[in-house]
Amino acid sequence: GAGVSQSPRYKVAKRGQDVALRCDPISGHVSLFWYQQALGQGPEFLTYFQNEAQLDKSGLPSDRFFAERPEGSVSTLKIQRTQQEDSAVYLCASSFLASGQGNEKLFFGSGTQLSVL
């Protein structure tokens, strides 16, 4: 596709439910990032993939959060036993280069807005 695609666009979950958020990066992009954005705040880093390898998951807030990118393209962010504090917009971003080369710009999807009731 032409850009980064995320689905679903909106997700409402009852507290305690598991959710799965999908990201389709731009074809050929090596790097994939997940960010969490609370209302009125900037995106906060969650995790980073270089191809299929998860090289950094230091931003995941708890062990309820899990991300994968098994074939180096599509990625899924899974949140188990959702809590109200998980309510936020989850953004996926990709870039052509491997992170660390210092000159990559990120292409973001429109995000998934998660509301936990």
Partner 1 sequence: SQKIEQNSEALNIQEGKTATLTCNYTNYSPAYLQWYRQDPGRGPVFLLLIRENEKEKRKERLKVTFDTTLKQSLFHITASQPADSATYLCAPGYMEYGNKLVFGAGTILRVKS
Q: Which residues bind partner 1 (CB under 8 A)?
A: 4, 33, 35, 40-45, 48, 55-56, 91, 93, 99-103, 105-111
Nearest-angstrom CA–CA distance, 82 and 65: 9
Q: Which among 100, 92, 94, 81 has a CA at the least distance from the CA of 22? A: 92
- For the bound state, the minimum distance from the C-beta of residue 84 to partner 1, rounded and expressed in Å, comes to 21
- For the bound state, the minimum distance from the C-beta of residue 113 to partner 1, rounded and expressed in Å, comes to 8
Q: Which among 77, 80, 81, 90 has a CA at the least distance from the CA of 38? A: 90
- For the bound state, the minimum distance from the C-beta of residue 71 to partner 1, rounded and expressed in Å, comes to 23
